[in-house]
Amino acid sequence: MAVASVVSSCGLSMFEQREPWRTEAEIACVAEGAVTPSEQVRLVSEINGSGTCGMTKPFKISALADGFVALKPQATLACPIVPQLQAWIAESIQPAAMRWFGQPVVEVRQMSAYSCRNQNGQAHTRISEHAFGNALDIGSFKLADDRVVSVRDHWSRGTPEDKGFLREIAGAACKRFTTVLGPGSNVFHYDHIHVDLARRKSRDICNPGVLPTGPSPADLIVRKSPDGPVPAGAAADMMPTGSIRAAAPLPPRRPTERRALDEEMPGGRLATAVPGAD
């Protein structure tokens, strides 16, 4: 009785059923081989949490991109979001890191993966996609030279390179996920980028809106190599990006609607969203 009372007070019903599409999507994801199990990506037993929380085919993940990019702390996620994270890293995050910093990302620091809770951890809001392992909150990225680019510290107060990198990958995330929330979207996302694969009848949520995703502006960055500055428009040496194995091709990007920032990037003022979209 006490347990039921606690769960009810959080807005999670003990008697609700998980939507059938979630289980169907997880089973299909594994059957199609969308995720290649490894020492760092382990398929584990079904998780049945309170109320509707849980996953049918959960993975414990300590690294992505064939082990090249560590995920710390280890995250528990449902199968469908894993290939999208892999593709985001391979096609967007690593190329952006090479353009802005001349080196790859080697570690992603996550702040929340599977968590049986409501949106934003607030009582009386809708259940969060985190409750189904269908979302990930990312706080920072570590580069090969151990430099850390933090959403909290560098989104607004970082160097032009920091700001450009974070905005570029946030914009690119909107092509991979149905929900992207970051600083400026609401008071709960000042220190991380939230991505998920929620299914909704309305259009996808991309807030801040689709941000610039092209090459680094030449007047904001000097990219150095052993032979001197990299000429504008030259192709950077991508180094190891940990791309998905040939047996598991990258999933297609999602169509997105472009919306301009209020001010020129980087450091542009972002539209404010209504809290509770997480």
Residue 254 has a pLDDT of 62
Position 117 scores a pLDDT of 84
Q: Phi and psi (nearest 5°) for 138?
A: -115, 125
Nearest to 68 by CA among 42, 95, 86: 86
> What 3-state DSSP class applies to 115?
coil
Alpha-carbon distance of 157 to 139, in angstroms, equals 15
CA distance 40 to 8: 36
Listing DSSP states for 79-104 in one string gives: TTHHHHHHHHIIIIIHHHHHHHHSS-
pLDDT, averaged in runs of 10, over the chain (278 residues): 40 65 96 96 93 94 97 97 97 96 97 84 72 96 98 93 94 92 85 92 75 46 42 38 42 56 37 45
**E strands along the chain, which residues?**
41-43, 47-48, 54-55, 58-64, 69-78, 105-112, 135-143, 148-150, 179-181, 193-196, 205-207, 224-225, 228-229
Structure tokens at 75: 């995250």
Strand 179-181 versus strand 205-207 pairing type: parallel
Classify the phi-psi angles of 140: left when phi > 0, otherwise alpha if psi is within -120 to 50, otherwise beta: beta
∠ CA 235-236-237 to the nearest 5 degrees?
120
Instruction: State the DSSP string of 32-48.
Output: TT-S---SSEEE---EE
Secondary structure class of 215 (helix, strand, coil): coil
Show Cβ contacts of residue 110 under 8 Å, excluding neighbours closer than 6 positions. Answer: 71, 72, 73, 75, 136, 137, 138, 139
Angle at alpha carbon of residue 70, lines to 68 and 73, rounded to 5° = 170
- Kindly list the structural domains of the chain, giving each domain's residue range(s) and its CATH number in brackets, ordered by start: 41-207 (3.30.1380)
Task: Compute the distance between CA of residue 212 and CA of residue 261 in angstroms, rounded to an integer.
Answer: 9
